[in-house]
Chain A
Amino acid sequence: MPSSFGEWVIFFAQKYGVFFLRGAGTTLVIALIGTVVGFLIGLAVAVVRTMPIEDNSPRGRRIFYRVVRWILVAYIDIFRGTPMIVQSMVIYYGSAELWGLDMSPMVAALFIVSINTGAYMAEIARGGIISVDKGQYEAALSIGMTHGQTMRKVILPQAVRNILPSIGNEFVVNIKDTSVLNVISVTELFFMSKSAAGTYMRYFEVFFITSVIYFVLTFSVTRILQSLEKKLDGPDSYSIHGSQTVPEAVIKGEA
C-alpha cells in the first residue's frame, strides 16, 4: 500500500486514470450540451420577452402574449430560485413517481442542466438585447424590417457577441455544478471520484486529483472561448477596393 500523499496520488492516477477520464468526459458532455441548449432556450425566452406589444394589436393576441410572458417569468423565477441539486431530486424522482417516467440519469442530467442554464441565460440574453443601441432598432425598422427580421439580422448578432463572456461564465459554472448530479447517480467526475475514494477511504488524495482535473477543464474552456471571441470580432483592418488615389468622396456632377 502507498504510504505518503504523493504515492497515493500516483496510485490513484494509475489505477483509476481511465475512471477519472471517463468521469471528466461525462462532465464535459453534460456541461457542453447543457450550456448550448440552455443558451438556445434563454435566447428564445429573451426574444419573446422583449417583443413589443402594439396597442393596436388584437385583444386576444395581447392577452396571449401576457400569459406567455407570465409563464416565462415564472420559469425563470423558479429555476433561478431553487438549487440545482434540489431540482435534480424533484425532477428525477418526481417524473418517475408522477408519470412513471424511467429516465436514465444521463438523460435527466442533460434535461436538468439545460433547463436550469436556460433560466439564467434568459436574463443574460435579455440584458444583451436591451443593451444594443436603440438606434439600431430604429434604423432596421426605418428600412421596413419587421421585429423578427430586426432581431435576426441586426440585434441578436450584436447581443450574442456582447454576452459571449457571460456565456463562457455559465459554461464554467456548469462544468463545476454538474458535480451535484451525483445525487441522482450520474457517473460524472465527482461521482467517479467519490467511488474511488470510498474504496480506499482516501478522500484527500482523490479529490486533490479531482480538483486538478476540474481546473484543467475550466481553464481550457476559458481560453478556447477567449480566442473564439477574438475571432468573432473579425480583423482590425479592412482592404480598400479599387483605386486608392481618390481618398475623399467625389460626387459625380459636383467636384
Chain B
Amino acid sequence: MSQPIITVNHLKKHFGTNAVLNDIDFEVEKGEVISIIGSSGSGKSTLLRCINLLEKPTAGVIRFHGQDIQAPGFSLSGYRSKVGMVFQTFNLFNNLTVLENCVVGQTTVSGIDRVKAEAKAMELLDSVGMAQYIAAKPRQISGGQKQRVAIARALAMEPEVLLFDEPTSALDPEMVGEVLNVMRKLARSGLTMLIVTHEMNFARDVSSRVIFMDEGVIAEDSSPRAIFSNPQNDRTRAFLNRML
C-alpha cells in the first residue's frame, strides 16, 4: 500500500482541563471518503480543525506525506492550500463577490495569473451550479448557494484532501440536498474527503469508511456497511439507534 496522505498519531487536545481529544490514531489514504460521525461534543470537529492546525494540538503528531506539519520550518501555508476546508458556517469572504471568492486564493497563494484563475473559478462555479451568480455578494445568496460556492472556493486550490466540518448543519432542510449532491459528485471523482456529518444516509451511501467518535476517542473505524448493519461497539449501536 502506498504511503498515506495524512497520518495522525497519539493526537490529544485539551481545552483547559477539558480533554476533547484523547489519543487519536488514524490514517487517510488517497481516494478515501471518510465520514466522521458521533454525538455533539465527541470531538469530531476539533479533530478536523486540528488536522489543518486551526486548532493547535496539545500533544501528538500529524504527518502529511510523512512530514510533521508542526515541525519548525514546515510551510503551513503550502500545506493548508493542499488540505482544503469547508465550514459549517460557510465563511465566504463577505467583502468579495462569488467569483472573487474563488479567485483570490489562486492569485494570492498559488500565484496563478488572473485570467487562468478566473477561468478555473468559472469552471468550478459552473460545476456546483453557481455560475449565474458570479457577481453576487455572499449576503445576497442563500445558505445552500453559499456552501456550494465555499466548496468551489476550496476546490480552486486543487487540494489533495478536502475537510468538511458539518457542511449541511447550518442549512434549511430543503437546501441540504443541493450541497450533498455536490459532495456526492466529488466523492465519485476520487477526491480524498474527510467529512464530519450528521447525515447518516449520506455517510452510509457515499463514504468508503466511517469513523465513529465518542468522548474524544475513535470508538469504531470500519466500512459503512459494517458500522451501519453490524456495529461492534455498544455506543455506536446506541448512537445509530438515536440517529436512524
Residue ranges of A at the interface with B (Cβ–Cβ < 8 Å): 55-56, 133, 135-136, 138-146, 149, 153-154, 157-158, 161, 234, 237-244, 246, 248-254
Question: Which of B104-112, B214-222, B232-240 makes up part of the contact surface?
Answer: B104-112
Q: Which residue of B lies closest to A241 (CB)?
A: B132
Q: How far is the CA of A55 from the CA of B70 in the complex (A)?
A: 11
Determine if B134 and A157 form an interchain contact, defined as CB atoms under 8 angstroms apart: no
Question: Which of B33-41, B57-65, B85-93, B192-200 makes up part of the contact surface?
Answer: B85-93
Determine if A158 and B95 form an interchain contact, defined as CB atoms under 8 angstroms apart: yes
Given the complex, which residues of A lie within 8 Å of B153, measured CB to CB? Answer: 139, 143
Determine if A135 and B181 form an interchain contact, defined as CB atoms under 8 angstroms apart: no
Given the complex, which residues of A lie within 8 Å of B204, measured CB to CB? Answer: none
Q: How far is the CA of A79 from the CA of B84 in the complex (A)?
A: 44
Determine if B129 and A248 form an interchain contact, defined as CB atoms under 8 angstroms apart: yes
The reply to whether the CB of B130 lies closer than 8 angstroms to some CB of chain A is yes
Q: How large is the interface on B (under 10, 10 to 19, 20 to 34, 35 or more residues)?
A: 35 or more
The reply to whether the CB of B14 lies closer than 8 angstroms to some CB of chain A is no
Determine if A140 and B93 form an interchain contact, defined as CB atoms under 8 angstroms apart: yes
Residue ranges of B at the interface with A (Cβ–Cβ < 8 Å): 52, 54, 56, 70, 72, 77-82, 84-85, 87, 89-97, 104-105, 108-110, 127-137, 140, 144-145, 148, 150, 153-154, 157, 178, 181-182, 184-185, 188
Q: List 10 A-B contacts (CB under 8 A).
A: A139-B153, A153-B104, A234-B137, A238-B136, A250-B129, A251-B128, A251-B129, A253-B188, A254-B184, A254-B185
Q: How far is the CA of A238 from the CA of B144 in the complex (A)?
A: 18
Given the complex, which residues of A lie within 8 Å of B154, measured CB to CB? Answer: 142-143
Determine if B132 and A144 form an interchain contact, defined as CB atoms under 8 angstroms apart: no
Determine if A139 and B91 form an interchain contact, defined as CB atoms under 8 angstroms apart: yes
Given the complex, which residues of B lie within 8 Å of A239, measured CB to CB? Answer: 135
Q: How far is the CA of A139 from the CA of B105 in the complex (A)?
A: 10
Cβ-neighbour of B105 out of A144, A244, A250 (below 8 A): A144
Given the complex, which residues of B lie within 8 Å of A242, measured CB to CB? Answer: 131-132
Given the complex, which residues of A lie within 8 Å of B84, measured CB to CB? Answer: 142-143
Q: How far is the CB of A89 from chain B (nearest CB, A)?
A: 43
Q: How far is the CA of A153 from the CA of B108 in the complex (A)?
A: 9
Given A135-B91, A251-B181: A145 in contact with B129 (beta carbons within 8 A)? no
Determine if B92 and A139 form an interchain contact, defined as CB atoms under 8 angstroms apart: yes
Given the complex, which residues of A lie within 8 Å of B145, measured CB to CB? Answer: 249
Determine if A138 and B140 form an interchain contact, defined as CB atoms under 8 angstroms apart: no
Determine if A144 and B185 form an interchain contact, defined as CB atoms under 8 angstroms apart: no
Determine if B91 and A136 form an interchain contact, defined as CB atoms under 8 angstroms apart: yes
Q: Which residue of B lies closest to A156 (CB)?
A: B95
Determine if B54 and A249 form an interchain contact, defined as CB atoms under 8 angstroms apart: no
Q: How far is the CA of A249 from the CA of B56 in the complex (A)?
A: 37
Determine if B178 and A143 form an interchain contact, defined as CB atoms under 8 angstroms apart: no
Given A141-B54, A254-B181: A135 in contact with B87 (beta carbons within 8 A)? yes
Q: How far is the CB of A135 from chain B (nearest CB, A)?
A: 4
Top 9 nearest A-B pairs (CB, nearest first) are A249-B129, A144-B81, A139-B91, A135-B91, A142-B85, A143-B105, A144-B109, A157-B95, A238-B136
Cβ-neighbour of A144 out of B72, B78, B137, B184 (below 8 A): B78
Given the complex, which residues of A lie within 8 Å of B77, measured CB to CB? Answer: 144-146
Determine if B54 and A142 form an interchain contact, defined as CB atoms under 8 angstroms apart: yes
Q: Which residue of B lies closest to A154 (CB)?
A: B93
Given the complex, which residues of B lie within 8 Å of A157, measured CB to CB? Answer: 95
Q: How far is the CB of B23 from chain A (nearest CB, A)?
A: 22
Q: Which residue of B lies closest to A132 (CB)?
A: B94
Determine if B108 and A252 form an interchain contact, defined as CB atoms under 8 angstroms apart: no
